[in-house]
Structure 1
Amino acid sequence: QVQYSTLLRANGTIVDDLLVYRFADHLMLVINASNRDKDLAHLRAHLAGFDCTLTDISDDTALLAVQGPQAPAIVASLASVPLDGIKYYWFTEGQIAGVPAIISRTGYTGELGFELYVDQAQAAHVWSAIMAAGAVTPAGLGCRDSLRLEAGMALYGNELDDHTTPLDAGLNWLVKLAKSEPFLGKDVLVRQHQDGTDRKLVGFTFDERAIPRHGYGVYYGGVRVGEVCSGTMSPTLGIPVGTCYLPTAAAVEGTTFDVEIRGKMIPARVVTLPFYKRPGKA
């Protein structure tokens, strides 16, 4: 099974968000590539006292994400194992186009799809097989980013950073505060849960066709309270969408505030996340 989770510091803030894969005899952590050195240093600093070893396989591993309505059929046509029974956020092992692979029913687009982990030396072969298997279009991180924003999925470097806790970001479900086992930051997060957070992550839109961008100033009651975390023109809905943090009292649907775009204050309105949810189950 796969679990979306966070690496935490002792003060409850987020080092990174990641996927944890549970195999029979080991765990595989899939971190953000840009945070590789930071994450590995954090993990190694806390290995003492645990009967485990940490191996970095980043340079030996390639990840291809096949996402969209036709993804299941396309991946299944190349797979050596049946995929129909793989539930969302579960995985199996088999072959893709004759190459050993971890075939994961995951993705950060809010769409149907799979993520395929293969030996980096075989990545070009698998890529070519996927491209020849159906109506597939190459897409970069900008495309992925617009879809994960529509789906209300947080991303490190945008909604999450070194000063954010899971409770700030509305990711309470990632931290089981009632569990008996200790974990880094638990005491801080328990207190934050009891006392409440000073700010909360919200989604917003504009009634006019201005486009919010990461870093634009956010103003509530005439006072700057933060900046846009993520923003774009939604390719599915055709409206401006964005995320930001607001004071907790203001972080409710319908609250109005302003976003500064090139010196002009654009009225924004808090809306419920996600902006878009694919019909049917993920």
Structure 2
Amino acid sequence: MLPVFKKSGQLSLTTYKSCVGALAAGALLLASTGCEKIVDLNLKTSTAQLVIEGNLVDDNQPCQVSISRSANYTDTNTFEAVRGATITLADNAGGLETLRETATPGRYLGATLRGVPGRTYTLRVETDGAAYVATSRLPAPVVPFEKLSTQLSAFGTDNIQAVVDYTDPAGKGNSYLFRQYRNGKLNNAIFVQNDEFTDGNRISQVLRTRSSSSTDPNELDKLKAGDSLRVEMQNIDPGVYEYFRTLTLILTAGGAPTTTPANPKSNFSGGALGYFSAHSRRVLTIKVP
């Protein structure tokens, strides 16, 4: 029997890696939040899997990659860093570099290649005799982040929500990811959007955190008047969007029982978990009124 993970949209690879052993046992069960029931869980263990998190941004910084191994549900939130991997990054303009491992175990850093809108990048990771490859295109043109504001939720006068405004360019295939910071602290939630039904429109999107006493008992993510609110808007490619979309299905509880993928759809070949994302980053900051 599998556990019910009530994450309410709070997407975290740390959370995901600690649950992967349980997820590997079968389909995830989603339950309604109307009541709670104490159950005995018969969790199976599974072989640790490689987890790769790679990012290349159009901010004139080099590529950053973290490699670790997943933990079983019953393990502590300590993930084994993978040392000594060989990682190369190439672009479709003839660029090629080998990333170096930093003083932080499992963390690798590029040197020369930078994120350029319109270019396609290929990240290759070799470790323990196996190779894992992912390709990501940094979208072009970069869609401007036009406005950040707040509004009160219709479900509670003390529930303040961020609102982002941008204009989607004509032509389907644009995808976006938003991260929210309250007083400099990153909110656990990740918000993903594409233009399947909004192609070419001006968008005003509410970032609904659904913060509650169970998901955020200390109200660290709950916006309040006077807070500093920072939101990061990323233009991501469709493969990265699909990864975070399927991760949302796994970590979001609610509604009738349903079947979801056992793992999010990674853009890495070879069976690795995680993702490689070449994307733009635009940031706006306001004071919550």
Q: Under TM normalisation by the shorter chain, which class is it? A: under 0.3
Structure with the larger strand share: 2
When the two structures are superposed, what TM-score results if normalisation uses the length of structure 1?
0.25
When the two structures are superposed, what TM-score results if normalisation uses the length of structure 2?
0.25
